[in-house]
């Protein structure tokens, strides 16, 4: 959830650094360095005034063999495309099926739909930014050739002053059923028991909610109080998009708490977002990295690669500064990562306020993938999450 930076909600930790902690200053200095690169691309003026600091990379040697080999899933995925295309054309004359399928085959990346898995609407001015209503969000989507977008809610008080109550989000996106897909959230501290939570969740589902998020609460990610919500999301087949850093949905280096959750709720699809997840793009992670954007070349692939390989119920949301940096801090690793894990990555921006500049569209030019892999990232994975 967006807290305060004019450029990205990933900067939340800068504005809410731990009181009395030197770590907060170091954290903000690191973030400012990465933000310069990010803003150089976005063309937005630099708001942070803190100086950059040293890279956190280790001295471990790099070997070619440590870079995972890209997997080749082209043939399987092509079959899926043909299946879907044919099923869309049930009414067509049999003799014309092949011809029409060929004509509909995407020839370039621009022919592929684009589904943004991480956007917001915000009802009030907050931290000097204008509100963002659904009408403006759709206008921005039109300008940037975004076909559909997941719109996330915030119900926990930690989000203040950036609030987006689920009921309001559902009302706001209601006129755009073909473009906007609302998610909802419930603060487990604000409901009296699992039955009450279930009742509220059913109410939101009846009103159109298709997923749960953005889950961003000051708790450990495996806190007992979250278990009823995880169970309900399993029951109602809702994917959960969560934000993890040093304060929200907390974990430790190596993400053992997240792994515990993934193993405990294999029927729930989780979509990971923000520093705590993306810092584990590399193997060398320090506790402070859970709240900042590690810089520099990757020495060896980290837990993100392993968890994606070991669990089919975890996805990576490439939105905002954390996701963008994870892919671009070391382009060779970024390329290998996209090739090997495109079936568990979703395109997202975290578009948060009118005029918010988003560099992620350039990633389609920056990296070279098969069209089928781009199709997974651009729309297919998100569509599959919405059961």
- Residues contributing to the site for Zn ion (CB under 5 A): 9, 350
* CB of residue 46 to Zn ion, shortest distance in Å: 21
Residue 32: phi and psi, rounded to 5, are -65, -35
CB nearer to Zn ion: give 221 or 369: 221
If the CB atoms of residues 176 and 242 are measured against Zn ion, the closer one turns out to be 242
CA gyration radius for the chain? Answer: 20
- Nearer Cβ to Zn ion, position 245 or 330? 245
The helix-helix angle for 193-206 and 227-235 (nearest 10°) equals: 40
Tokens of 242: 């969560």
Our CB check for Zn ion shows the closer of 317 and 343 to be 317
DSSP strands (E only) in 155-197: 180-182
Residue nearest to Zn ion (CB): 350
CB of 47 to Zn ion, least distance (A): 18
Query: Measured from the CB atom, is 116 or 350 closer to Zn ion?
Result: 350
Residue 16: C-alpha distances to residues 29, 122, 367 (Å): 14, 20, 34
| CA 2 – CA 129 distance, rounded (Å) | 11
Residue 316 C-beta: closest distance to Zn ion, Å: 14
Tell the smallest beta-carbon distance from residue 14 to Zn ion (Å). 16
Residue that has been written with the tokens 């800068």 in this structure: 14
- Least distance from Zn ion to the Cβ atom of residue 4, Å: 13
Q: Which of 155, 153, 127, 164 is nearest to 15 (CA)?
A: 127
Using an 8 Å Cβ cutoff, are 148 and 113 in contact? yes
């Amino acid at each position: 959830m967006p807290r305060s930076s004019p450029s990205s909600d990933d900067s939340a930790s800068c504005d809410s650094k731990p009181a009395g902690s030197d770590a907060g200053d170091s954290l903000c200095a690191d973030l400012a360095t990465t933000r310069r690169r990010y803003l150089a691309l976005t063309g937005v003026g630099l708001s942070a005034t803190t100086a950059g600091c040293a890279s956190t990379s280790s001295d471990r040697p790099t070997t070619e063999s440590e870079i995972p080999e890209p997997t080749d899933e082209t043939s399987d995925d092509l079959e899926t495309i043909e299946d879907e295309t044919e099923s869309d054309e049930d009414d067509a004359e049999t003799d014309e099926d092949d011809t029409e399928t060929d004509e509909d085959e995407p020839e370039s990346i621009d022919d592929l739909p684009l589904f943004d898995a991480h956007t917001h609407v915000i009802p009030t001015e907050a931290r000097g930014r204008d509100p963002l209503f659904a009408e403006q969000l759709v206008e921005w989507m039109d300008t940037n050739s975004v076909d559909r977008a997941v719109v996330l809610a915030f119900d926990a008080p930690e989000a203040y002053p950036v609030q987006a109550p689920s009921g309001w989000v559902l009302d706001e996106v209601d006129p755009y059923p073909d473009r906007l897909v609302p998610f909802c959230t419930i603060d487990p501290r604000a409901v009296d028991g699992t039955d009450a939570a279930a009742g509220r969740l059913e109410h939101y589902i009846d009103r159109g909610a298709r997923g749960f998020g953005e889950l961003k609460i000051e708790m450990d990610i495996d806190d007992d109080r979250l278990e009823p919500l995880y169970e309900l999301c399993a029951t109602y087949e809702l994917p959960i998009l969560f934000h993890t850093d040093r304060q929200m949905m907390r974990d430790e280096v190596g993400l053992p708490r997240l792994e515990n959750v993934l193993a405990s709720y294999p029927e729930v699809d989780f979509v990971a977002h923000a520093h705590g997840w993306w810092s584990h793009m590399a193997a060398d992670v320090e506790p402070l990295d859970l709240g900042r954007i590690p810089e520099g070349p990757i020495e060896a692939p980290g837990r993100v690669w392993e968890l994606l390989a070991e669990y089919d119920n975890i996805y990576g949301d490439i939105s905002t500064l954390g996701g963008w940096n994870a892919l671009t801090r070391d382009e060779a690793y970024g390329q290998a990562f996209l090739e090997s894990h495109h079936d568990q990555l979703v395109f997202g921006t975290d578009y948060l306020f009118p005029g918010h500049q988003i560099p992620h569209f350039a990633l389609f030019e920056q990296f070279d993938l098969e069209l089928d892999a781009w199709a997974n990232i651009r729309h297919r994975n998100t569509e599959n999450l919405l059961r």
